[in-house]
Structure 1
Amino acid sequence: MQRPAVVVLGLVGLLVAAAVVLQTGLWVEALGTGEYEEGTVTVREGSDAALPTATQPATDAPTPGTTVAVREQEAGEPLGTVKVRIAKTFDQRYVGLSETASLGPDEGMLFVHDEAGQHTYVMRNMSFPIDIIFIDADGTITTIHHAPTPPEGEQYSEQYPGYGKYVLEVNRGWTNRTGVEVGDRVELPPEAT
């Protein structure tokens, strides 16, 4: 009779240990996240903004690099730019900006998911507040959250859900400063598609 109880307790112990390793991200430290790619993203005002196709690049797009540019639809003038790293793998998305001490005023990260869908982000071990911008597969901004840092002594903040294939994280208040709103359109770099 005691042998099945020992087996069950052993399995429960393994499951608890696995949950702790997953929650704390220790497995990411052991395996690493790999290299981040960089690319250019352009945001245009309004959902009816014309976007170039993959075979027809924008003629006014900046050269490939690390720039995210926000532009008004009519004038095409940039509203702001952000240097980004592209997080494409699960490990990169899991770590996100949590290992970043701070961002410059125009820096951020672009998260790429395999498919458009409902995704939820948290401020895991974050040292600074951010704007979390959800972008649908067609480039339309669907949701913007202004996320504060987690409360003192807590590893996570509240949850920030949204629909999209892409998520852009920038310093908190960047969307207010640049005028980026839900419904604006984003041109994605080839590295992100």
Structure 2
Amino acid sequence: MPALLRQMTSLLGLTACLASNVLAQQIPQLDLPRMELRAGMFRIDAQVASRPIERQIGLMQRQSMPPHEGMLFVFERPGVQCFWMKDTPLPLTAAFIADDGTIVNLADMQPLDENSHCSRVPVRFVLEMNQGWFASKGLKAGSQIKGAVFSR
């Protein structure tokens, strides 16, 4: 009986985990902590995705996003970060950002596209904004993003 009980407990745990993942992919994340960032005179209201599950879900299922809002992905250590648009219906631009807030490279990403878009060098930060936001502000590789998370 104890072996059967262990198997059932394991199965219940796996079922709960799968249900949680399915639910997370159907409901957009709107309640993450927020942080103010600045790009020159422009203010960004960034949701902060710092936990693995938050980064995994990202902006999936979001139907719209205000022009001054974005999502900042924060990783524990620098690495070549790659993003795709699975289950993300918004056209976005990803800014891959160095520890000091310098934009390393930008990548325009199309809705629902599963192609990877990667940083050119290892980074810890990626900021996703509505596609065209960076270009409309004249921001490109080498531009600075300011915020409490970036070292000076």
SS at match of 1:187: coil
- What residue in structure 1 maps to residue 76 of structure 2? 114
Residues 68-93 of structure 1: CA deviation (Å, up to 9, x unaligned) = x211xxxxxx1x22221111100110
- Deviation readout 1:94-146 (Å, 9 max, x if unpaired): 01000322111221111100011101101020111001000012222111001
Matches for 1:37-56 after TM superposition, within 5 Å: 37-41=33-37
TM-score normalised by the chain length of structure 2: 0.75
Report matched runs for 1:136-147 at 5 Å: 136-147=98-109
**Which protein shows a greater Rg?**
1
| Sequence identity percentage | 23
For residues 139 and 24 of structure 2, the distance between their equivalents in structure 1, rounded to whole angstroms, comes to 33
Match of 1:186 among 134, 141, 145: 145
Residue type at the aligned position of 1:174: W
Runs of at least 4 residues off by over 6 Å: none
What do you get for the CA RMSD once the two structures are aligned?
2.9
Task: Give 1:89-168 correspondences, 5 Å limit.
Answer: 89-150=51-112, 156-162=113-119, 163-168=122-127
Structure 1 segment 52-71 matched on structure 2, within 5 A = 69-71=38-40
Amino acid at match of 2:60: S
The structural deviation recorded for 1:27 is: 7.7
Deviation of residue 28 (structure 1)?
Answer: 4.6
